[in-house]
Amino acid sequence: MTQKSRIFVHGLKAHADDMWACGLLIASKPEIEFTEIVRDAKRVGEATENDYILDCGMKFDGVRFFDHHQFESTDDVDCAFSLIAKTFAPWTLNDTKFGPILERVRVQDNFGIPAAENKFGKSSPWLASECVLVALFESEPLKIANMLAEGFRNRLRELNEVKEAEKWIKENSSLETLENGLKVLVIKSSPFQAGFSITGFNSACNHYSASLEAGVVYGWNSDGSGSRTLFRTRAEKNVDFTHSAPENLIFCHSGGFLLIFDPADEAEYRKLVFQAAGSEKNLKKSDEISEKSEL
């Protein structure tokens, strides 16, 4: 039988930390059906042994009570969000997506908006949407918390896929160092036909190529065709694919970091990389030397 639980938080003005904490708690407890979020600290006495008390109650036991207001206000003092994260979802602490959000919320909740703005700046991709969510959390807390919970679940699924995708890339790629010194990671078969999503594969590819210091990745277009892609990685700034001219061009990003084409032959990508790096003359000289040596 599924356990049914409620979450108790403080009332009046909702805060980002109790909103995020509720979402992460729900995401971390898939075996529990959360039926209500009670926004009234005065009703904490109604809580049963199945319920959770967040950001109020003046108690932390790592089981049901997750308040931080009784702790000394030091630089690293927790908030309800970070207490839930450390207890039930430590993967979020260093996650590139949720880690920065968690740290900003922790600082803002304990030391105020000016302190958070001083440390992290006055804007972030989350701030505008977070303000809307917090306002909605006051009137529909369970609905908003469930929405955030799904975001956490999606991120965890994505991270698991990235691990699988990186393992797949290691087994289905090779690293080539060209005559101009550029390292190209060559993906040998289609990751999308292998079942990986674009987001998961790209994240894994960026991480793996960085570990090899590859400046360019030669991969597969995500449309399921035989089209291929060349894209510049963060390790390389001097490659611009608007300088490349494939025989069968499909798309080239105006920023110069992405090129999609139907390959005329297996080696065309090498020519395109040299063009992008302004090294095509060196490639021609290399080919001429190679031809003379063969004669």
Q: What is the pLDDT of residue 72?
A: 86
The SS3 assignment for 88 reads helix
Residue 9: φ, ψ to 5°: -135, 170
Q: Output the six-digit token pair for 190.
A: 């289609």
Spell out the domains of the chain, with CATH numbers in brackets: 3-160 (no CATH), 172-294 (3.10.310)
Instruction: Provide the token pair at 107.
Output: 């600082």
- Dump pLDDT digits (tens) for 121-169: 887 667 788 999 999 999 999 999 999 999 999 999 999 999 999 999 9
pLDDT by residue for the chain (295 residues), tens digit each? 899 999 999 999 999 999 999 999 999 999 999 999 999 999 999 999 999 999 999 999 999 999 999 998 888 999 999 999 999 999 999 999 999 999 999 999 999 989 999 998 887 667 788 999 999 999 999 999 999 999 999 999 999 999 999 999 999 999 999 999 999 999 999 999 999 999 899 999 999 999 999 999 999 998 888 999 999 998 899 999 999 999 999 999 999 999 999 999 999 999 999 999 997 654 444 444 345 445 4
CB 155, CB 95: distance < 8 Å: yes
Q: How many CA atoms lie within 13 A of 105 on its CB side?
A: 27
| SS3 category, 244 | coil
Q: Is the pTM of this model over 0.85?
A: no
- The whole-angstrom separation of Cα 219 and Cα 198 is 12
| CA atoms of 94 and 137, how far apart (whole Å) | 26
**Per-residue confidence (pLDDT) for residue 73, from 0 to 100:** 85
Contacts of 188 (CB under 8 A, 6+ apart): 172, 173, 174
Query: What pLDDT is stored for residue 164 in this prediction?
Result: 96
Angle (deg, nearest 10), helices 16-28 and 127-139 = 80
